[in-house]
Chains A and B, each alone.
Chain A
């Protein structure tokens, strides 16, 4: 499993790519593997405000339902429109075409709670 070094990771298994004040968010390869084949994705709408650690969407696999938590607070500026009709992208390319939302961050200090790749891999190893 890959955990790119340029991303940050949450304890709820989302990844965050920070570019200026925009954060792109998806779920990690670990989360995608645990869920299995993703068959339904529900995302927030553009313009919605989201709060750190609150559910902003849902991802369902054949066997499980899981909330998508926002690792940061802010306003949704873009969502991955391809995802609802091509949910397999979450499994096939979790860090690329399987991205979920872009959020304009309202508080950059939210990022301080996130883990880097190494910390996240350790976090997963400890949880298992």
Chain B
């Protein structure tokens, strides 16, 4: 099967990006280098093409109620112009996807989904849509993420309007390059930043506008490589790594997303049981000061026994040491617990640490 390409594909080629396969898409993993791009986002800002992500509109009669039914969070708590982190669930409490739900109006929502789950999500949402309409808008939209401390000011200049008053997880509709876009103060890097949903064919022009404005401030393009190290430092889960159909939100540190008090929903019974029984394993942060880079699949050990496995790992560009997320047995999940990671043929010292690994200063 040939790989899918975003509307920015030619732009990335011309910029000399290294392109790799990701979730069936041919995506830029880096331009200048992952660490340089990572640091750029933390210190200034970086622009990501994340048009591979899917957008599903849910609208019409009962749109709010149907979303409330298929997800964990309380969709009725979202007001117009605001967004919410949420989980699409199966009846048994397994996580179909983690998503952002944007509310335009009580009968019109946009759900941003992971590229790898797009088709599954659309089918799942259609199955549970009742009388509401579920429309896959992914091919009509490009998604650009401008992330970092300079992002708000730069986007405001390009949009020609003040954006400082928009709160985190708020959004506005605004024209960029004469085209109607959705500007959302959301992201996946642990920095302040924005995600710009724009008509697919306007993607390259808006990309160029944002970079043109940012260039003098040391702002440039950033690839999926930096996106991964940034989200991992911020301890944001990645579907397929920390989350999947066999994972309960309570194991994944996402109990805060689950609103058992919101009335009946698809996984209410299963999740009430999960909460009562407590998790069989817990997602934790693990620090590996030296001895190799912790990576997905490596075993976590304690007193010579296997007690878990890593789901993501890297050498943190910000902290300069190995960091990882992984599932461990509850008895070793406490912050401060010394464990070991099996790296190649050795056991390397590691420690359970508080999450996130990195938090931006206010």
Contact = CB atoms under 8 A, between A and B. Distances in A.
Interface of A: 36-37, 39-40, 42, 58, 60, 62-63, 65, 91
A36 B293 contact: no
A63 B33 CA distance: 11
Contacts of B229: 62
A128 to B, nearest CB: 13
A36 B292 CA distance: 16
Contact of A62 (B18, B35, B292, B344): B35
Contacts of B71: none
B315 A65 contact: no
A60 B34 contact: no
A36 B197 CA distance: 30
Interface in B227-276: 229
B295 interface: yes
B34 A37 contact: yes
Contacts of A91: 33
A36 B30 contact: yes
Interface residues of B, number: 16
A65 to B, nearest CB: 7
Nearest to B315: A39
Contact of A60 (B35, B36, B292): B292
B29 interface: yes
B225 interface: yes
A40 B320 CA distance: 11
Interface string B281-297: 00000000000110100
A108 B292 CA distance: 33
Given A58-B344, A62-B315, A40 B292 contact: yes
B314 interface: yes
B343 to A, nearest CB: 9
A44 B123 CA distance: 53
Given A39-B315, A40-B293, A63 B34 contact: yes
Contact of A37 (B33, B292, B295, B344): B33
A49 to B, nearest CB: 18
Given A40-B293, A58-B344, 19 more contacts: A36-B18, A36-B34, A36-B225, A37-B35, A37-B36, A39-B35, A39-B293, A40-B292, A58-B292, A60-B292, A60-B293, A60-B315, A62-B34, A62-B225, A62-B229, A62-B314, A63-B34, A65-B293, A65-B295
Which of A39, A42, A58 neighbours the largest number of chain B CB atoms within 10 Å of its CB?
A39
Given A36-B30, A37-B33, A39-B315, A63 B292 contact: no
Chain A contact residues: helix, strand, loop or mixed: strand
B315 A36 contact: no
A62 B35 CA distance: 8
A42 B344 CA distance: 12
Contacts of A39: 35, 293, 315
A58 B343 CA distance: 11
A22 B295 CA distance: 36
Contacts of B225: 36, 62-63
Contacts of A58: 292, 344
B13 to A, nearest CB: 16
A69 B229 CA distance: 28
B291 to A, nearest CB: 9
Contacts of B35: 37, 39, 62
A91 B36 CA distance: 13
B292 A42 contact: yes
Given A62-B35, A62-B225, A40 B29 contact: no
9 contacts: A36-B18, A36-B225, A39-B315, A40-B293, A40-B315, A60-B293, A60-B315, A62-B34, A65-B295
Nearest to A60: B293
